[in-house]
Amino acid sequence: MDDTRDYYTRNQMETRYYDTVLQMLVGQAYREYAAAQLFGHGISVVPSLHALKSMTRHLQEEIQHYEMVATMYQTLVDQSIDPLVYARLAQQPIDFAQDWFELAMAQFLYDRGGYWQLQEYEDCSFVPYRKVVAEIVDEEAEHQALGESLVVELCLRKEYQAKKQSIFNKWLRYGLLSFGRPNSVGADYAVKMRLRKRDPHFVMQDFITDIKPVMKRAGLLFPSLKSIGIEARNDIDLLLH
């Protein structure tokens, strides 16, 4: 039977629930800090003042999102989350965009992956996280249109034809890594305890379905997910209908 309770404090939680919440917070903090690094470095490749202003705002929002999650972790554990995030970044560093085209692709796919993942926590039974997620999702939604329009515009230019598919494959992987492994014991427990809505498979499929129209306009194709190191169910739909 699924758990329908809400949780607010450490003393309400059994050990497994508590450990799962900490894992969620560290994962979210890692993604926010990695995004801040990505877009902070990306400032060096923006081609105009307008783009620089937009990217600077984006960077500041990612930093604020990290601080929100870090504060929640500090309140729950009475320890800083920073050492855990720095260690994970050392083990799993984020690549940096080498030009404006790659930065646009990263914004389109990495940001979008985080957005879809966060929506799974909108009804999270750990109420402090639910409240933080609501705030972050609202801001992340604003980034979607910018990355999407840039990708379509740049992919149609002759100068990017030779590399657009390989850059797409690279950042598709980063986007899909946000969701975790389908059908895992940990994901089943999180769904049962209402920490997240659904198994990662369904989030992955929604993300993939969401980007298909943009891919068709940009002339992009899906690679084999196995070829880019992503575990997925065999019934995932990659067809561009």
The pLDDT of residue 174 is 95
Q: Which amino acid is at 239?
A: L
What is the pTM for the complete model shown? 0.93
* 124 has a pLDDT exceeding 60: yes
Judged by average pLDDT, the poorest of 138-147, 188-197, 220-229 is 138-147
Bridge partners for 126 per DSSP: 7
* 209 has a pLDDT exceeding 80: yes
The pLDDT of residue 143 is 64
Write the pLDDT tens digit of every residue in 170-182: 999 999 999 999 9
The pLDDT of residue 214 is 95
| Residue 7 dihedral angles phi and psi, to the nearest 5° | -125, 140
Confidence band, pLDDT 50/70/90 cuts, at residue 145:
low
List, in order, residues 6 or more apart from 92 with CB less than 8 Å away: 30
Confidence band, pLDDT 50/70/90 cuts, at residue 136:
confident
Write the pLDDT tens digit of every residue in 11-33: 999 999 999 999 999 999 999 99
- The domains found in the chain, sorted by start residue, are 10-228 (1.20.1260.10)
Average pLDDT of the chain is 93
Say how far apart CA 90 and CA 192 lie, in whole Å: 32
* 196 has a pLDDT exceeding 70: yes
Confidence band, pLDDT 50/70/90 cuts, at residue 1:
very low
Q: Which amino acid is at 8?
A: Y
Write out the H or E segment, with its range, that includes residue 193.
none
